[in-house]
């Protein structure tokens, strides 16, 4: 909902906001016209704006508030730790209990062979770390020519210079370009967008083989690693056909290319297992995490290092010349420990897998008959609804119409956060969402699809 123009508190915050706050990923001309939606508080799966309008948060903040808002256990963990030891670092042979306990805990839940954790403050920093770890690894094993990385178009790996280069987001590349020059992109396994007239499994194999083609083009002796999100999130919840990952895995093994699974969104339960890679049959060498590890309550990211790289770093690594002031921040680690406690104690991941994700899948599938919907899909608790001009052919609306953004605004105004990636509407609710709230999500989504269709009929 848009805050009322005549509400002094809201307009005051909006005016102060546009005067002083440079927002991430925001067009400031548009922001100046409309004013920001200012969120004041939140509880459970709902956020509340300054006027007290209640909005069901179908995006878990930004794919992170997996346990929902208002968790006193997470707040208490942070408060206790801030009183006891608000800060100390782990540089130069020091450490503190929360960082150690969390690394041990992550190693216990991570896939077999992942025993070593590096901390960063965010997913972007974690992926920058991956680049350095991979290069260090190949140097140490005497193959310094392996320096190139392969990623995918429309991937999201963060927004620092290196992580933004790893990602395949067109606008980021256009604004900064030329980006880091040892990163190369291949096309993504986006079946609806790029190959919906093809058999999905054949399409998946063909997209995986683009990785092989790129390795051969660069020369396998030059290629250090391939990075991918098990399921692309920011790119529009792109679920690869089942054939895709096993083939990518086979290709990486064949050419001795390390595999990095960026699990910033898929890690810590979103796909119904602790990590997405076990669900999709990926056996990576490095795993990126962030977001859900603290349920978004405090910033924390990192890399879980598989045994191949870990063994070399432990025995031959010398000093790893890399680290951040907030690597392993005590309060963030304490909140992460409390998050993992809650996920286990409340059986959130099991319940998500057995009860909530099936209800979510049914709810999204129930929108597939809508006249402007070309496809719905979901995996675990992330899903997408593709908006189309022609249901039969899958033809898209003209880009300039901004139909996705229109739909997103109808949703916000009607009490639902659903994000637009172009004309793909995406949802990823907190893992603790209830079946009744999933019904509410679906009802609101359908109503807003109706509003969008009516708007299109008038404006297209």
Q: How many other C-beta atoms lie within 10 A of the C-beta of residue 57?
A: 25
Distance CA 385, CA 361 (A): 11
Using CB under 6 A, which of 157, 270, 329, 370 touches ligand PXG? Answer: 157
By beta-carbon proximity to ligand PXG, the closer residue of 50 and 384 is 384
Residues of span 223-242 touching ligand PXG by CB under 6 A = 229, 233-234
By rule CB under 6 A, what string of x and - marks binding of each residue 26-65 to ligand PXG? ------------------------------------x---
Query: Rounded to whole angstroms, how far apart are CA atoms 113 and 459?
Result: 56
The rounded distance, in Å, linking the Cα atoms of 457 and 442 is: 22
Residue whose token pair is 């921040």: 329
- Of 260, 18, 62, nearest to 149 by C-alpha is 260
**Using the rule CB under 6 A, is 122 a contact of ligand PXG?**
yes
For residues 460 and 399, give the distance between their C-alpha atoms in angstroms, rounded to a whole number: 11
Part in contact with ligand PXG (CB under 6 A); list of ranges 66-74, 80-88, 197-205, 261-269: 261-269
Rounded to 5 degrees, what are φ and ψ at 384? -140, 150
Stretch that binds ligand PXG, among 150-158, 329-337, 406-414, 451-459 (CB under 6 A): 150-158
Q: Does 123 bind ligand PXG (CB under 6 A)?
A: yes
Based on CB atoms, which residue is closest to ligand PXG, 57 or 212?
Answer: 57
Q: What angle do CA 323, 320, 283 make, to 5 degrees?
A: 90
- Taking the complex as a whole, the smallest distance from the CB of residue 357 to ligand PXG amounts, in Å, to 19
Q: Which stretch binds ligand PXG (CB under 6 A): 155-163, 237-245, 408-416, 441-449?
A: 155-163
Structure tokens belonging to residue 257: 């290319």
Considering the complex, state which of residue 259 and residue 312 has its C-beta at the smaller distance from ligand PXG: 259
In the shown chain, the binding pattern of residues 296 to 325 toward ligand PXG, with x for contact by CB under 6 A and - for none, equals -----x------------------------
> Can you tell me which of 265, 348, 381, 382 binds ligand PXG, judged by CB under 6 A?
265
In angstroms, give the least distance from the CB of 89 to ligand PXG.
Answer: 20
275-294 footprint of ligand PXG as x/- string (CB under 6 A): ---------------x----
Identify which range of 92-100, 116-124, 306-314, 432-440 contacts ligand PXG by CB under 6 A.
Answer: 116-124
- Can you tell me the distance from the alpha carbon of 14 to that of 146, in angstroms, rounded to the nearest whole number? 50
The DSSP bridge pattern shows strands 424-427 and 382-387 to be: antiparallel
CA neighbor of 445 nearest in space, from 412, 399, 403: 412
The yes or no reply on residue 81 touching ligand PXG (CB under 6 A) is: no
H runs (alpha helix) in 27-71? 28-34, 60-63
Residue 156 found at the interface with ligand PXG (CB under 6 A)? yes
Identity of the residue, 46 or 289, whose beta carbon is nearer to ligand PXG in the bound complex: 289
Question: Minimum distance from CB of 191 to ligand PXG (Å)?
Answer: 19
Q: Which of 124, 151, 339, 424 binds ligand PXG (CB under 6 A)?
A: 124
DSSP 187: -
State whether residue 43 is helix, strand or coil: strand
| CA–CA gap between residue 418 and residue 443 (Å, rounded) | 13
153: contact with ligand PXG by CB under 6 A: no
- For ligand PXG, give the closer residue by CB, 212 or 262: 262
187 burial level (CB within 10 Å; 0-12, 13-18, 19+): middle
- Give the containing element (helix H, strand E) for 192: helix 191-195
Selected range binding ligand PXG among 36-44, 151-159, 271-279, 312-320, rule: CB under 6 A? 151-159
Measured from the CB of residue 63, what is the shortest distance to ligand PXG in angstroms? 6
Q: Between 90 and 124, whose beta carbon lies closer to ligand PXG?
A: 124
Q: Please enumerate in sequence order all residues whose Cβ is within 8 A of that of 394, keeping only pairs 6 or more positions apart, or say none.
A: 192, 196, 374, 375, 386, 388
The correct pick among 262, 273, 375, 440 for binding ligand PXG (CB under 6 A) is 262
In angstroms, what is the minimal distance from the CB of 450 to ligand PXG? 25
Specify the residue, 269 or 301, whose C-beta has the smaller distance to ligand PXG: 301
Beta 419-421 vs 424-427: how paired, if at all?
antiparallel
| Measured distance CA(305)–CA(321) in Å, rounded | 16
In the DSSP assignment, the letter for residue 9 is H
Q: Which residues contact 369 (CB under 8 A, 6 or more apart)?
A: none
Closest approach of ligand PXG to the CB of residue 157, in Å: 5
> Which of the ranges 36-44, 260-268, 344-352, 435-443 carries the binding residues for ligand PXG, by CB under 6 A?
260-268
Q: In the bound complex, which residue of the shown chain has the CB atom lying closest to ligand PXG?
A: 123
Establish if 264 lies at the interface with ligand PXG (CB under 6 A): yes
Q: Which two tokens stand for residue 333?
A: 């680690």
302: left (phi over 0), alpha (psi -120 to 50) or beta: left
Cβ count within 10 A of residue 246 = 16
List contacts with ligand PXG (CB under 6 A): 62, 122-124, 127, 156-158, 229, 233-234, 262, 264-265, 290, 301
């Amino acid at each position: 909902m848009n805050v009322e123009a005549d509400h002094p508190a809201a307009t005051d915050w909006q005016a102060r906001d546009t005067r002083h706050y440079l927002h991430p990923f925001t067009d400031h001309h548009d922001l100046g016209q409309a004013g920001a939606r200012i969120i004041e508080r939140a509880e459970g799966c709902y956020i509340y704006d300054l006027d007290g309008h209640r909005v069901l948060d179908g995006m878990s903040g930004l794919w992170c508030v997996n346990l929902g808002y208002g968790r006193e256990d997470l707040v208490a963990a942070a408060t206790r730790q801030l009183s006891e030891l608000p800060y100390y670092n782990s540089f130069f042979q020091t450490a503190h209990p929360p960082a150690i306990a969390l690394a041990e805990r992550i190693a216990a839940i991570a896939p077999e062979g992942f025993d070593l954790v590096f901390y960063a403050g965010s997913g972007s920093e974690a992926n920058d770390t991956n680049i350095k770890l991979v290069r260090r690894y190949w140097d140490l094993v005497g193959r310094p020519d392996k320096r190139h990385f392969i990623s995918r178009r429309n991937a999201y790996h963060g927004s620092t210079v290196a992580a933004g280069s790893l990602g395949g987001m067109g606008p980021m590349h256009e604004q900064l370009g030329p980006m880091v020059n040892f990163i190369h992109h291949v096309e993504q396994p986006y079946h609806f967008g790029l190959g919906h007239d093809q058999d999905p499994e054949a399409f998946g194999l063909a997209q995986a083989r683009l990785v092989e083609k790129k390795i051969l083009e660069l020369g396998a002796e030059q290629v250090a690693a391939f990075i991918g999100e098990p399921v692309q999130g920011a790119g529009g919840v792109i679920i690869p056909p089942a054939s895709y990952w096993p083939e990518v895995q086979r290709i990486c093994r064949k050419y001795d290319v390390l595999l990095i699974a960026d699990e910033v969104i898929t890690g810590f339960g979103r796909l119904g297992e602790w990590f997405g890679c076990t669900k999709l049959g990926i056996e990576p060498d490095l795993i990126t995490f962030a977001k859900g590890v603290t349920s978004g309550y405090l910033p924390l990211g990192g890399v879980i290092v598989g045994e191949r790289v870990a063994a070399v770093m432990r025995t031959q690594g010398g000093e790893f010349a890399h680290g951040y002031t907030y690597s392993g921040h005590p309060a963030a680690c304490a909140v992460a420990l409390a998050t993992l406690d809650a996920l286990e104690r409340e059986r959130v991941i099991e319940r998500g897998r057995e009860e909530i994700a099936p209800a979510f899948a049914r709810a999204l599938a129930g929108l597939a008959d809508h006249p402007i919907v070309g496809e719905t899909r979901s995996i675990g608790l992330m899903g997408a609804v593709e908006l189309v001009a022609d249901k039969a052919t899958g033809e898209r609306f003209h880009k300039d119409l901004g139909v996705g953004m229109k739909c997103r605004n109808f949703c916000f105004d009607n009490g639902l956060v659903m994000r637009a990636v172009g004309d793909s509407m995406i949802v990823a609710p907190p893992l603790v969402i209830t079946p009744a709230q999933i019904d509410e999500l679906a009802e609101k989504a359908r109503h807003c699809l109706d509003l969008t269709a009516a708007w299109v009929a008038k404006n297209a």
